[in-house]
Every structure is written in C-alpha cells, then in structure tokens.
Structure 1
C-alpha cells in the first residue's frame, strides 16, 4: 500500500478532477436543477457531481481488494453495490425514475453486500444490519442533500471517524471517502457550482452504511460509536419523516420541512452547513474520549447524544415554524 498521505492525495485529486469534468458534462447535457418552491437554492445549478466521489471510491475498493485477498470478496461486493446505487441515481439524474425502481436497486445492492458479509461468517444480526443500514442511509442522504455542502461535509466527518476507528483496510476505504469529499466540496461549498445529484447522495449513503456494517470486525472502538457522526442526519431525516407520516402528508414527495431546510431559508446555507458540521465534528472528540470504553459506556453515550440531538431538533423545529 502507498503511504497514508499519498493515499489521501490520490483520492482528493481524482475526486477534484472528476468533479470538474462532471460539471462540464452536466452543463453540456443541460443537467441543471432549477430553483423552485420545493428547492432551497435560488439559481440554476448543474447536478451529478457526486459521480466524482463514486469514481474515487471504486478505485479505492479495487486497490484494497487486490491488496487484501482475505477481504477481496467483500470489497468486490462493495464495488458492485456502490455501482448499482450510483447507477440508478445517475439514470435518475438524467431521466427521473419511479421511486419503486430506485428502491429496488437499493435493496439489491444491500443484498449483494449482505450476502458477502454472510459468506465471510458474519452473524445474522450483522447481515440484517447491513440490509437495513444500506437501504436507510441511501435514502437519508438523499433526503438531506438539499443545501450547499451539507451532505458532502457530513459524509466527510463520518469518513474521518471511520479512518481512525475502523479495522484494517476498511479504515483506508473510509480515508478515501474523506479525501474524495474534500476534493468535491470546493465545487459545492460555500457556493454550489454543482450538486451531488442522486448519483452522489445515494453513493455516500451506501458507502457509510457499508462501513458501519463492518464496524464490528475488530474495530478500534465500540462499534455503536460510529453512529455518533450520523446523529444530525438520522434525527432530522427520521423524525421529519415520522412527523409527515403522522400528519397524513405525502411523505415520499419533495418538501422543504426538514429543520436544515427551514434554517437555511432563514439563516443561509453557509451558516446551517457550518452548524451541522460543528455538531457532528464534536462527535469525533467524543469517539476519541470513549475509544477505550466498554460496550455499556458506549451505548450510554450513544443514547445520551441522540437524546440531545432530538431535543435540539424539537427546539429548532418549533423556533423555525
């Protein structure tokens, strides 16, 4: 394997160069998101830039699978699943697909990765976790990709956590995710010149879910702590969705009722993305402090942090009503 810094630089450069190319392609093909009542941006912006992160991650998975024969099948399943999720997202970015078709692709990708986990001897709970996590996070990242820099910066923080705390070659994949997000972000924040698109948001959700699914394989910290950097997204997406369902709304349709969307309309994209980043960044410190803690302490910390996140969500939603 190359050194850690060259590894980061490789995926940063690949993602940055690919984003630049993706932007040129999107402008040429007129793949542009127009402002609207159910959108949070005010100027027409090209979409599909997340394909750059997909390219970087597929490169990382190929190299890591080649260099670690014992994990080769699982890295191959990661690549196949990522390609499925990104592929259906790329298609949807060009020509909108029914939600049922997209969900079917997500489920197939989840089953591919979960089957590889099972073949490597993972217990049934870990296999089930992989299926649930992949389908859930793919859609959570899609729901939360609505303002400049938010989805990519949150994935960047979660990738950094994985780089430090995941086992073996999976920490290198998490590092590649971190570097790829760093390469993409200058095009997406503080002013978006290109959006992730469904190809990017879905791919980020898949990658994070896969990393979470392998966290129990000799992770350097209690595995449940890897849920800490996901708290902001899981709480905002999960409870907003639950509220819409309880209110009898068409929850599967686009909307602007997430806390981050309401806050962005009042305070702007930069402020909201920065606050979400600060909130999630604190979890890196918590993970470091709890890295040698037992499972019981880790669970208590996780529950306490999610309770805090839920309280903030409820307070913010009321204040932004």
Structure 2
C-alpha cells in the first residue's frame, strides 16, 4: 500500500506545482480564450490545467518503471506506451480546443483514434464479461466494444465539466472507491497484472485530482479544460476495462474468497466500474437524447445539464458541486460495501450496502430538492465584481464556472 500512497503524493505534488505554474504563465501571456456566448463564467479564466495533470500522470508512470513493486505492470510495456501515447493525443487536441474551440467532429475523431490506439496497439480490450462466464469470441466485436466504451466515458466526464471543482472532485471520489475495490480484489483473489494496472491508474488519477483541485475550487483560478476532462475519462475507462474486460470468470465460481453470494460476485466486476461514473453517464445520456430529439448534434452545447438544473432550483454553484460529490460517494460506496460484506461475511452479506444506499438516497434527495438558497435570493444586492486576470477586460460578476457543453 505504501507504494500506492507514494504514487498518489508524487502525482499530486507534480500536478499542484505545475498547475500553479500554468496558471501564472497563462495570465502572463494571456493564454485564455474570450467569453463565449454559451459560457456561464464572466471572467476570462485559463483552461490549460489539463497540461499540468497530464505531466503529473507521466511523471508517475516514469517513476513506476524504475520501481520493482510496479514491475508487473511493465511486463507488457507496449500497453503502457499505447496508453500514454493515446492520452498525449487527447491532451494535445484538448489544449487546441481550449484555445481555439475546435469543431466537434475533429475532437470526436481524435477520441476514436486514441481509443483505437489503446485497443489495437495496447491490446487493452474487453475480452470477457464476468457474468456467467460470458466471453466475446469475435476480435472485432471486442475491439469495437472497447473503443466505444472509452469514447463514451471520455465524453461523459467531459460533459459534467461545468462548475468549479466538479469534475476533479467527482473523479477523486470515484477513483478513490475504485482503487479500494481493485486493491481488495488483488488481495482476495491474487489476480494478475490487469488488476494491478487498474489500481495504479486509479492511484495516479487520485493524485492528479488532489493536486489540481486547490486551484480549481470555487472561485476557480484555473480550469482543466477539455484536455484534463477527456484525459480523466480516458484513463478511468482504461482502468475499468483492465478489470472488467480481462476478469477471469472462473474466479467468481471457484474462489470462495471473492464472495459467498455468487449472484453478487457475478455482477460486482461489471457494476462497480459503471456506478463510479454513473452521474457523468446519466448526464451524457440525457444530453444526447435531449439534443438529438431536437434535431441537433449530440455534441452541440446547451445549458440544461444536471448541474445547471440544480442551479435553476436555487442551489449555489458550490452547493451543487457538493451535492454531486454526495451522490457519487453514495452510489459507488454502496456497491463497494456490498462487495466487502460478502468477502468479510458480514451479517446479511450485501444487505448492509443496500441499507446504506437506501438511507443515503433519502438524505441526498432531501438536500437536492430542498436547496438552502432559493431563487428569490437573486433579489439580494450583487457582490463586488471579481478582479479579472491581468490585461483581461472587466466584466459583470458571476461565479467562475466552466463552460456549458
């Protein structure tokens, strides 16, 4: 465990120092776009935080290559190189979009290309699903399912990037839970390389989010932009595929330590990687349906995401972010507790996780639909305008929120 803690601290330190450096350089050289019509923030804010997060990730992988504990994930170096190469491609395209607002077709093409590099050259694919020993026999079916899964998760994470600290915090919680799960599976089953790779990626993402969040917390001084959000989505998808897609179905049926509930044991490896990104996936699905039903592109931006709806209900931007944190922790911890309950033979097995989920849902529903600040508060005097970055025009005050996607 101490090796993972070191990885988290190293990534966090590099990401924090470079985030501060990127913020200062962006202000000095005016590397921030103007306010667009769809933006909800009013003060020009740098969007290049994804660069700092990416370098932190690369630094962690570089150090791991020299550490004997992580030698197992380097037994297939082409897999790591493909993963880092695809991530670099996404970050470059994301930076270009953050500076010049690329056409959505270009971004989508780059996403499919990056996912293809991982699936084809890295051979990190969904080969099997641990549900009744289900195996994907066609190599092209495996490749296609993998590519589409990565692209969907990338866009799902990117779509919720609309409020200060939202994506960084949600991904921090999700990867924290996923790291705990993957680490316990290795402990309980003696699983192979793929689980260690999943644990390492989750640890790296935890560190990247911790290092970036101080500059992204409301009021944000730096946004991660498309570069950061797409990178988080890509790596989270890959960590999930490393477990789910390469899970040995025999573990479920033959290894009693995996859990006394065979039904739960069959579903957990599929369920948990999904629930940790449940809110992004839900927001992404609703956005696609909403836009296509109006005859628009599924990637055409609007201001009807879940976090915008909470703002319309009367929540402050910070309260809305905290509610998203609560929902993310609720759904992911519920499934994790079900797994822990079966492996430790708690009374009632997974019922403890179900009870936690039911009580948590009730609490989250209350805070979601009873906002502490009603829309009537809008009649209160406006706060003093926040200072604009050096050289940027002063504009009307508003929370330093991300753009609506």
**Normalising by structure 2, what TM-score?**
0.68
Pair 1:233 & 2:280 matched: yes
Question: Partner residue of 2:235?
Answer: 207
Gaps of at least 5 residues in structure 2 are 128-135, 183-194, 249-257, 259-267, 344-349, 370-374, 376-405
- As a proportion of its length, which structure holds more helix? 1
Question: What's the offset of the Cα at 1:120?
Answer: 8.1
Question: Partner residue of 1:284?
Answer: 332
CA distance in 2, matches of 1:119, 1:33: 36
Question: Partner residue of 1:57?
Answer: 57
Question: Partner residue of 1:128?
Answer: 144
Question: What's the offset of the Cα at 1:90?
Answer: 1.2
Q: Contact 2:48/2:222 (CA < 8 Å) preserved in 1?
A: yes
Question: Partner residue of 2:291?
Answer: 244
Pair 1:13 & 2:13 matched: yes
Question: What's the offset of the Cα at 1:280?
Answer: 0.3
Question: What's the offset of the Cα at 1:133?
Answer: 1.8
Q: Contact 1:244/1:251 (CA < 8 Å) preserved in 2?
A: yes
Q: 2:219 aligns with which of 191, 194, 203?
A: 191
Question: Partner residue of 2:171?
Answer: 155
Aligned residue for 2:155, secondary structure, equals: helix
CA distance in 1, matches of 2:302, 2:309: 11
Q: 1:101 aligns with which of 103, 106, 113?
A: 106
Question: What's the offset of the Cα at 1:10?
Answer: 0.7
CA distance in 2, matches of 1:64, 1:287: 30
The structure-2 alpha-carbon separation of the partners of 1:157 and 1:127, relative to structure 1 and needing over 3 Å to count, comes to farther
Pair 1:75 & 2:80 matched: yes
The structure-2 alpha-carbon separation of the partners of 1:242 and 1:72, relative to structure 1 and needing over 3 Å to count, comes to same
Pair 1:92 & 2:111 matched: no
Deviations 1:246-297 (A, max 9, x none): 1224543221111212323542210111000000011332132222669xx9
Q: Contact 2:160/2:167 (CA < 8 Å) preserved in 1?
A: yes
CA RMSD of aligned residues (A): 3.2
Question: What's the offset of the Cα at 1:194?
Answer: 0.7
CA distance in 2, matches of 1:126, 1:63: 32
Q: Contact 1:162/1:174 (CA < 8 Å) preserved in 2?
A: yes
CA distance in 2, matches of 1:119, 1:14: 27
CA distance in 1, matches of 2:306, 2:43: 21
Question: Partner residue of 2:311?
Answer: 264
The structure-2 alpha-carbon separation of the partners of 1:152 and 1:120, relative to structure 1 and needing over 3 Å to count, comes to closer
Aligned residue for 1:27, secondary structure, equals: helix
Question: Partner residue of 1:171?
Answer: 199
The structure-2 alpha-carbon separation of the partners of 1:120 and 1:206, relative to structure 1 and needing over 3 Å to count, comes to closer
CA distance in 1, matches of 2:125, 2:292: 38
CA distance in 2, matches of 1:241, 1:264: 21
Of 213-222 and 6-15, the range deviating more from structure 2: 213-222
Deviations 1:74-98 (A, max 9, x none): 2211101101111111122222322
Of 259-268 and 184-193, the range deviating more from structure 2: 259-268
Deviations 1:118-158 (A, max 9, x none): 47894545543321122112222222111111111111112
Superposition pairs of residues 30-49 of structure 1, within 5 angstroms: 30-35=30-35, 37-49=37-49
Of 94-103 and 270-279, the range deviating more from structure 2: 94-103
Pair 1:223 & 2:251 matched: no
Question: What's the offset of the Cα at 1:34?
Answer: 4.4
CA distance in 1, matches of 2:62, 2:84: 8
Pair 1:138 & 2:187 matched: no
CA distance in 1, matches of 2:202, 2:142: 19
CA distance in 2, matches of 1:108, 1:102: 10
The structure-2 alpha-carbon separation of the partners of 1:158 and 1:119, relative to structure 1 and needing over 3 Å to count, comes to closer
Q: Contact 1:64/1:169 (CA < 8 Å) preserved in 2?
A: no
Of 219-228 and 71-80, the range deviating more from structure 2: 219-228
CA distance in 1, matches of 2:159, 2:166: 11
